[in-house]
Structure 1
Amino acid sequence: MVTTQPWSVLGGSPYRADCPTRQILDRIGDRWTVLIVGALWDGSARFSELRRRIEGVSQKMLTQTLRGLERDGLVHRTVYPEVPIRVEYKLTEAGRTLREPLRALEEWSITHLGGVSASQETYDHANQNTP
């Protein structure tokens, strides 16, 4: 007897802990993914270029995120047999479809920065003495 998972019939539900769409949402919602996709917006880049473009990302996090994106089919890694070896990363066709939604999030954060900062200040001030 073959049992069908509910997400296969319904197209997935990231609200269910056992649904594979949750893993995809976790990947694309990760801050480093958002920044890597943005950094690869215009084409390919080497690892060192990505590190320079994305301030604050550690070598370990950049490596882990790129590997995850490659595994998920969102980033393509090309190794050129040169001395020294050159490795470049670029968005796949699927990865390029993320550009617009993630760009919208980036623009939203820029547009609403002032309001969010003001809310944080107000909240922090009101809860200063709360244990």
Structure 2
Amino acid sequence: MASDPKHFVFDDVIKHNKTKDCWLVIDGKVYDVTPFMEDHPGGDEVLLAATGKDATDDFEDVGHSDDARGMMHKYYIGEVDKATVPKKRAYVKPADSNYNHDKTSEFVIKILQFIVPLVILGLAFVVRSYTKEKSA
């Protein structure tokens, strides 16, 4: 860690929420994880989902290895003023437009966009046929 760490307010940290510019707050420390985005074993989506909040709980809940914890020092860029970090976080969509916050596969979304209207049309046809038979 640097001998004289830089200090950030939370509002400045949360602006870095893109794949090409991603900062995280963990235990009051600010990390620029941009160079690690492609190499993160959980994928860049995990890191992007941790922006805009104190990601300490997210980091701890995963149970990172000692090796992962040891890597953190190279991404450390300073400290966050803890008084500026909100207790609760409203969802803020990361700036990357292709980010899929609910982790739904794009393939699944496309399939559903195709199948759901067909199912609705099929049901409408069945109901219409059934009601015609009843009235005849």
TM-score by length of 1: 0.29
TM-score by length of 2: 0.28
* Bigger share in strand: 2
* Bigger share in helix: 1
- Indicate the structure (1 or 2) with the bigger Cα radius of gyration: 2
Higher relative contact order (CA 8 A, sep 6+): 2
